[in-house]
Structure 1
Amino acid sequence: MKITFLGHAGVLIESGDIRLACDPWFSDRGAFLSGWHQLPDNSAFAPVLDTATHVYVSHDHQDHFDFAVLAGLPPSVPLIMPNYPLPSWHRLVASLPNPTIILLDDDGVLNLGALRLRLMVSPTPRHQDSALLVEEESTGQVVVNLNDCQVGRDQLGAIAARYPRIDAVLAQFSGATWFPFVYAFPAAERAAAAAQKKLNSMRRWAHYMRGLQPRTAVAFAGPPALLDPTLAPYFRGDSSVFTTPVELQEWLRREQPDLAARCIAPLPGDALDVATAEAIPNAGIREQFGWDRVDEYLLAYAERRGVALERELALYPEQQHDLFDDFAAGFEALFDVAEKACREVDAVVGFEITGAGGGSWLVDFRELRVIRSAEPDEITPDYRFTLASRFLPPILRGELSWEEFFFSFRFRAWRPSIGSYNEALMSILRCSAPDDLAEYLRQVESRSPESSGTFRLDTRHGTFLVADTCPHLGTKLAAQDYAPERDVVVCPQHGWCFEVPTGHCRNGRTQLDMTRIDDDSVNGE
């Protein structure tokens, strides 16, 4: 097999007559209201896609699901995608003009020539993402493309058991979310939270590589370029979560030198000969770009993309009418389909909608009501989001979820502290279409009770039975996640910390169940 890197999470995997493109992202519109752009510019490699025989798309985020690119593929090119349950996913897929779309379920298998593809879906309903396991049966070569799918410890074990020898693992290494830099925390707290988030992202990447032990460990799928001048400071500021390959390599050399020796961070046009593990650099891209001169590059890149960026933002004009009724109707529809889940938010959320048609509005999840705030101090919100009214209509029309809008970074936010993250609120906003929210809750409720359990944890405070599922996004926990020097259980996915012996979470408004036990009470365990 041969892998050619197309930029961000895009790759072309070649085997015989099969040329499988994965997550190709080339649009000059970027993604998420033009908040994100490819780094470096990969437009010169878009013609590679003309030779693809098949295309795999991992999930619906716009830096993976490039609608314009997918819709422009020849009719003869099949699209391979996960069969996610959310109705919005099926609406998105159905809107493509492509005649052949192959939907695979979790652990579904598809044979393409000498390649055997196996799909793996993220284990929690809160994350609609997938990974692709690619085996060349004639040679036994195996490539695991995790992109930014966050897989659990059990899934890593299953991959390692199925493929004793793995040639390459491709995984995201950089942060990609809006926390903490959009929040009005004190500067020092923002900087500390960002540094921890960078560290968590690198640790997660290393956790995958240690679990799968590939010959070549590939760091890719980020960071994005923030070319809009209003967003650019987020990329390099003290509160940036965007790890560069230089930072990753420096950390690996200090902490895990064996991984540093096997790690590559390819640029667009680079290739990997899977049989020999030889990395083949593209000289042309290196003449244009280097991480040691990224600031200079971004200034010139922003100038080149300026017209495309302005064209994209012009699609969201200033509003001519009051948006409150539509805003209220959107949340009332969520109350109707998910009263219990909405009440579990247990908060009043303020929305400051600036510009024509906006106002100060409150969503009261305790009383299930949406109200105009006549006086700024009439009701004090527990959380607050501030955004321009021009971006609200596509959210209200269901063309853009609240989560997709948040990925644009075109908003500001406030909450009482870094540790007051509200997962119940974010679950509602992730599934902001009523039918999506209803389906998501069905998925959560249908999870087998056997999928959640406990593990035994011996600490200086005594012995505990601890819930083995992180309440943040459902990652499996185990005794090895205990950090005795800090007296916390640390989630291997996002670094959330749960204090021993209370189970108190330092990162969000939640708790991990911990029950003190006597040795005799666990049937000799």
Structure 2
Amino acid sequence: MQVTSVGHAGFRIETPAGSILCDPWVNPAYFASWFPFPDNSELDWDALGDCDYLYISHLHHDHFDPRHLSKHVNKDAVVLLPDFPVPDLRGELEKLGFHRFFETEDSVRHTVSGPKGELDVMIIALRAPADGPIGDSGLVVHDGTTTVFNMNDCRPIDLDVLGAFDAIDVHLLQYSGAIWYPMVYDMPARAKEAFGTQKRQRQMDRARQYIDHVGATWVVPSAGPPCFLDPELRDLNDDHGDPANIFPDEMVFLDQMRQGGHDRGLLMIPGTTASFTGAQLDSLTHPIPEADVEAIFTSGKADYIAAYADRMAPVLAAEKASWAPAAGPAMLEPLRALFEPIMGKSNEICDGIGYPVELVLDGPEHTETVVLDFPERIVREPVAGEKFRYGFGIPPELVRTVLRDNEPDWVNTIFLSTRFRAWRVGGYNEYLYTFFKCLTEDRIVYADGWFGESHDDSAMIELGDWQIQRRCPHMKADLSKFGVIEGETLTCNQHGWQWDLKTGRCLTAKGHELRCEKL
């Protein structure tokens, strides 16, 4: 088997039964905030796109690049389709001209038959509302000799399903940040630094836990970090020795792996090819000298990003020119037309949010405040002197653009762009961000039902000196694998949520109580 990095979470996997192109991303994402790192724009994309199979893990725009798929990828390729609860991914691919689909069943090993032979695949489909835009997934491929697990940036709850394969030889794994926290929040600089430092380490700890559980011979850090080329966002790059930066690169994580006793991590950049025979690495070939590869991530990183920004300045300018203008009529009525029907179909989510949320559209050419009153299921103007527990400040041109484009997911556009600010009193509100992901009837009905249905949380485990429920109250991760106890605090490293073991109270968000007792 031959695995070629095509940048970020993207790979082309060559097998005797055909080639699989996974998550090719080239065009800037999230209002042109994210660019692939290192630069992959000069690859031979017509050749890479002439594939037998296409796998798109989910609809986040650093995995699903519709302009690139439309221009460069073979429309006769068989799409390996995850088993998602809503048909959005298939629908978006059909719009681009893809017409051959192999529909998988969640976490089931399938044999795909093609003109070049048979290939065994499994797609682990994550279906919780917090997973991507209603769905994320990981792909296992077995060609008869070698097995690769492309986990990209999904976070499987149950890894026992990998037992359908004898062993995992190669593990393609996300390890770096893909979030806006804590950078966009209004908080004291010292607190922001502390939260960022904690976030940086926890996401790498979680990735190392996955390495231990999967047990692959070779690990390829992938799916991050993005590169921020806009001068307004350049400080988000991890190129200036900031211990609170949540976007560590591959070299940082490989060093973490080595410190943990794992010395079979592979550094790959766009164009790097690794060949495997089972668990044996036959070759690793970079498109440039190895010393130059490492310099991209070490001594030459700041200069590399500066030169990259210069090359991409026209691309960034064109992206910004495509946004809706900031100036224009008031947005209260368009926002009311968008949000109120969704509120009316989401009792669990609106009750879970539990309070009005302030939306400040503030820019040099337009200033307006709109209140999303979730208890009343209405969108309204603020009342004089009204206080809010949660609020967002978003440039009006971004809001006008997502309204113009009928965008069903503000997380996948505005929030991941980091081009906004936020403030809150109290913990993170999962229901609120889920609402912003689900701005269609299909999505909101599914998400509301997911929160409303009961889960079997009866199983208990012993962890340290405590007996706790096995499944995390947040996303049902197995706490025997992802739970870490320090003192009287439990942390689930799948998403970093925490609980007070003395009381079972969730320290991250309201609700989500944990059953626990001291042994």
TM-score (norm 1): 0.89
Q: What are the residue-to-residue correspondences of 1:128-277 with 2, within 5 Å?
A: 128-137=135-144, 139=145, 141-152=146-157, 155-159=158-162, 161-236=163-238, 239-254=244-259, 256-257=260-261, 259=262, 261-275=263-277, 276-277=280-281
Decide which moves more: 312-321 or 232-241.
Answer: 232-241
Residue-by-residue CA offset, 1:389-441 (whole Å, 9 max, x unaligned): 11113433532511112111111111125xx1111212212212233111222
Question: How far apart in 2 are the matches of 1:57 and 1:285?
Answer: 31
Is 1:468–2:466 an aligned residue pair?
no
Q: Contact conserved, 1:123 with 1:151, CA < 8 A, in 2?
A: no
* Pairs within 5 Å for 1:510-525: 510-516=511-517
Deviation by residue 1:492-518 (Cα, 9 ceiling, x = unmatched): 312222121212233333343225489
Change (3 A) 1:361 1:201: same
Distance 1:453 1:74 in 2: 48
Deviates more, 1:294-303 or 1:80-89: 80-89
Aligned residue among 118, 122, 127 for 2:126: 122
Report the CA distance between 1:37 and its aligned residue.
Answer: 0.4
Given that residues 497 and 507 in structure 2 are in contact (C-alpha distance below 8 angstroms), is that contact kept between their aligned partners in structure 1? yes
Partner of 1:62: 61
Aligned pair in 2 of structure 1 residues 406, 500: CA closer, same or farther (>3 Å)?
same
Structure 1 Cα separation of the partners of residues 272 and 400 of structure 2: 41
Matched, 1:37 2:35: yes
Write the deviation string for residues 230-271 of structure 1: whole angstroms up to 9, x where unpaired. Answer: 1111223564210112221332333x11x1x11113111112
> In structure 1, how many angstroms separate the alpha carbons of the residues matched to 2:388 and 2:168?
51
Residues 1:425 and 2:432 are matched in the alignment: yes
Q: What is the match of residue 107 of structure 2?
A: 107
Does the alignment pair 1:398 with 2:397? no
2:245 counterpart letter in structure 1: S
90 and 250 in structure 1: CA distance in 2 versus 1, 3 angstrom threshold: closer
Percent of aligned pairs with the same amino acid:
26
TM-score, normalization by structure 2: 0.90
| Cα distance in 2, alignment partners of residues 352 and 88 from structure 1 | 30
- Asked if 2 retains the 8 angstrom alpha-carbon contact of 1:59 and 1:129, the reply is yes
In 1: Cα distance, 2:137 partner to 2:481 partner: 27
From the superposition, tell whether residues 302 and 281 of structure 1 become closer, same or farther in structure 2 (CA, over 3 Å): same
Name the stretch that deviates more: 40-49 or 230-239.
230-239
Higher helix proportion (structure 1 or 2) = 1
Match of 2:288 in 1: 284
Check whether the contact 2:107–2:161 (CA below 8 A) recurs between aligned residues: no
The yes-or-no answer on 1:344 pairing with 2:349 is no
8 Å CA contact 1:467, 1:514 repeated in 2: yes
SS in 1 for 2:62: coil
CA distance in structure 2 between the partners assigned to 1:380 and 1:422 by the alignment: 17
1:311-355 per-residue CA deviation (whole Å, 9 max, x = no partner) reads 111111324222110112222112211134202211221111023
Asked if 2 retains the 8 angstrom alpha-carbon contact of 1:88 and 1:436, the reply is no
Distance in 1 separating the partners of 2:13 and 2:177: 25
The amino acid of 1:486's aligned partner reads: G
Aligned-pair distance for 1:125? 4.2
Measure the CA separation in 1 of the matches of 2:419 and 2:481. Answer: 40
Alignment of 1:448-459 (within 5 A): 449-450=455-456, 452-457=457-462
Instruction: Find the aligned partners of 1:37 and 1:60 in 2 and give their Cα distance.
Output: 16
| Alpha carbons of structure 1 residues 51 and 516: separation in structure 2 relative to 1, 3 Å | closer
C-alpha contact 2:390 2:424 (8 A) present in aligned 1? yes
Q: 1:125 to 1:426 in 2, by over 3 A?
A: closer
Q: Which amino acid in 1 is paired with 2:429?
A: N
CA distance in 1, matches of 2:452, 2:352: 15
SS in 1 for 2:506: coil
8 Å CA contact retained: 1:457, 1:479: no
How far apart in 2 are the matches of 1:479 and 1:298? 38
Structure 1 residues 75-84 or 490-499, which shifts more?
A: 75-84
Task: Kindly provide the amino acid, as one letter, of the partner of residue 54 in structure 2.
Answer: V
Partner of 1:521: none
Deviation at 1:444, TM superposition (A): 4.3
| 1:364 and 1:370 in contact (8 A); partners too | yes
Q: Judging changes above 3 Å, is the alpha-carbon distance between structure 1 residues 499 and 280 closer, same or farther for their aligned structure 2 residues? A: same
Hey, what's the Cα distance between the residues in 2 that align with 1:270 and 1:150?
25
Q: How many Å separate the matches in 1 of 2:138 and 2:3? A: 16
CA distance in 2, matches of 1:50, 1:424: 38
Q: Which amino acid in 1 is paired with 2:323?
A: Y
Preserved CA contact (<8 Å) 1:423 1:472 = no
| Distance in 1 between residues matched to 2:518 and 2:459, nearest whole Å | 12
Q: Distance in 1 between matches of 2:435 and 2:224?
A: 27
Q: Is the 8 A contact 1:324 1:358 kept in 2?
A: no
CA–CA distance in structure 2, aligned partners of residues 110 and 354 of structure 1: 53
Return 5+ residue gaps in structure 1 as ranges: 519-525
**Alignment partner of 1:489 is 2:490:** yes
Cα 1:517/1:204, change in 2 over 3 Å: closer
Unpaired stretches in structure 2, ≥5 consecutive residues: none
Partner SS state of residue 43, structure 1: coil
User: Distance in 2 between the 1:17 and 1:335 partners?
Assistant: 48
Tell me what 2:396 maps to: 389
Could you give the per-residue CA deviations for residues 357-406 of structure 1, whole angstroms, max 9, x where no partner exists?
5401111222323221264xx21111111111111134335325111121
Aligned to 1:274, what secondary structure does the other structure show? strand
- CA distance change for structure 1 residues 65 and 3 in 2, over 3 Å: closer, same or farther? same
Question: Judging changes above 3 Å, is the alpha-carbon distance between structure 1 residues 493 and 373 closer, same or farther for their aligned structure 2 residues?
Answer: same
1 CA distance for matches of 2:83 and 2:255? 39
- The aligned runs of 1:70-81 (5 Å cut-off) are 70-72=69-71, 73-81=73-81
Aligned CA RMSD, in angstroms, stands at 2.3
Matched residue SS, 1:309:
helix
SS at match of 1:342: helix
Residue 281 of structure 1: how far off its partner (Å): 3.1
Residue 410 of structure 1 aligns to a residue in which SS?
Answer: coil
TM-superposed deviation, 1:86: 2.5
Q: Is the 8 A contact 2:111 2:118 kept in 1?
A: no
Please tell me whether residue 353 in structure 1 is matched to residue 361 in structure 2. Answer: yes
Q: Identify the residue that residue 523 of structure 1 maps to in structure 2.
A: none
Whole-Å separation in 2 of the counterparts to 1:238 and 1:433: 39
In 2, Cα distance between the equivalents of 1:50 and 1:170?
20
- Please say if residues 106 and 120 of structure 1, whose CA atoms lie closer than 8 Å, have aligned partners that are also in contact: yes
| Aligned residue identity for 2:160 | G
